[in-house]
Amino acid sequence: MRFDPAERLCGTITPPPDKSISHRAALLGAISTYPTRITNYLDAADTRSTLAAVSTLGALVEIRDGGGAGAGAGAGGGAAAGAGGGIDLVVRGTGLREAQQPDGPIDVGNAGTLMRLLPGWLAAQKGRTFTLDGDESIRRRPVDRVMEPLRHMGATLTAREDRLPPLTVTGARLRAISYELPVASAQVKSCVLLAALAADGATTVGEPSPSRDHTERMLKRAEVKIHRFGNHVTVVNADELVLEQVRVPADMSSAAFLVAAGLLVPGSRVVLRDVGVNWTRTGFLRIVRRMGAEVGGELEAQGSDLSIEEPVSDLEVRAAALRATTVEPEEVPLAIDELPLVALLGCFAEGETVVRGAAELRVKESDRIAGVVDGLSGLGADIEAASDGFVVRGGGLRGGALDAKGDHRMAMMGAIAGLASREGVEVHGMEAAAVSYPGFVDDLRRLAAG
């Protein structure tokens, strides 16, 4: 699909519902004893995998309303569909220890979050065995990071080469542990927190620096005893979860593509509605503000206490001249999925933009250090890879072709690169965007027509 240089982008968009929060709402709904009503659940490939998985495990998923991903910018998206294309669901859970053993493997598709979080719950299903498998990309992504703590807790896990999917989990009566994560990963932290619900006492997880805390907030909302002290979180085991209602805000990580587009295309003014601004997700906005962008919105204060709410705000973006910046390692987990966009913005910023401490990018849906560096240099960027990041110098982009290699975020980055380039960009594999943002191309068209 071709993306030609845009003249200016104008309009109001509600980005799609948050993928991380949607996965967690469906999983915690499946673990809950009473029905959980979820409004504005993301209707995209990844989060459909989660609904299918929890159904296989015995939860009942009832779709009440909505659908039509990408249906509607701003107001007037129809009575049923959320403006960003979300759906309304009721999940009737099985309870903490009553997941049913399915006949065959559970297919997680492309969803790394499902592959890492679900084993936490399954580890507590005493005497039952579950196998998780997924697509080609999932089969290249490590699961040893969740195998290690779950083994300490008493579950039995096996995987290909002891580190790659398919992953088989046999549940057990679990022990509470104290565990220090080797890398800041919300997925691994969340896995241990889910297992901790059924362990025999209080489990503590430490992380080298903060990562997204949606699981902690949702557990608190579900009346679980959970506390954060600095970079440690402690969960006391629970008899049951009661999660009555979750409303999913728009996804900051999807909004970030439109923020980048609004900043780069001269003369643009873009308003993004109802975006989740939990401080553990807004690292990208802090980085772009440092680069000289004026992005309006009421962000949650950095370091805020654990709350049961997911704060939301509208964001207003205007095109701006950018200057280079250095992203420090502790900022990385708070902007992990947006770092390809930092590289893209770096192509248009004055000076040298540096990202380091981001080796985790190599184990995302694709190797995002290689993908960003090969992809953007193919479009004329002055960019080099490091083992744990990249260095990019401003000078603009000529354009050309970029292969998304099946990675939704690389496809969307290629599209925005095209709008900001001199000659346009042809993205190979644009359909990958459907993993998190099915209405992406329509939303760009709307902004270009606005």
User: For ligand S3P, how many residues bind (rule: CB under 6 A)?
Assistant: 11
Nearer to ligand S3P, 366 or 421 (CB): 366
Instruction: Write the CB contacts of 346 (distance below 8 Å, at least 6 apart in sequence).
Output: 324, 352, 353, 383, 392, 393, 394
Interacting span for ligand S3P (CB under 6 A) from 46-54, 155-163, 186-194, 273-281: 186-194
* CA angle 348–349–355, rounded 5-degree value: 105
Smallest separation (angstroms) from ligand S3P to the CB of 77: 25
Q: Does 146 bind ligand S3P (CB under 6 A)?
A: no
**What token pair was written down for 85?**
């294309």
Active site residue 337: yes
Residues 342-361 close enough to bind ligand S3P by CB under 6 A: 360
Q: Name which of 337, 402, 385, 335 is nearest 363 in CA terms.
A: 337
Q: Per the residue annotation, which of 43, 274, 337, 443 is the catalytic one? A: 337
Q: Does 110 bind ligand S3P (CB under 6 A)?
A: no
Q: Does 251 bind ligand S3P (CB under 6 A)?
A: no
Smallest separation (angstroms) from ligand S3P to the CB of 360: 5
Candidate residues 40, 113, 237, 278; the one interacting with ligand S3P per rule CB under 6 A? 113
Q: Does 336 bind ligand S3P (CB under 6 A)?
A: yes
Asked if residues 388 and 356 have their Cβ atoms less than 8 Å apart, the reply is: yes
Smallest separation (angstroms) from ligand S3P to the CB of 184: 7
Nearer to ligand S3P, 21 or 270 (CB): 21
Smallest separation (angstroms) from ligand S3P to the CB of 112: 6
Instruction: Write the CB contacts of 440 (distance below 8 Å, at least 6 apart in sequence).
Output: 70, 254, 257, 412, 415, 433
Smallest separation (angstroms) from ligand S3P to the CB of 72: 25
Q: Does 186 bind ligand S3P (CB under 6 A)?
A: yes
Q: Does 49 bind ligand S3P (CB under 6 A)?
A: no
Nearer to ligand S3P, 146 or 291 (CB): 146
Q: Does 185 bind ligand S3P (CB under 6 A)?
A: yes
Candidate residues 12, 14, 168, 211; the one interacting with ligand S3P per rule CB under 6 A? 211
- The binding site for ligand S3P (CB under 6 A) comprises 20, 113, 185-187, 190, 211-212, 336-337, 360
Indicate which residues carry an active-site annotation: 337
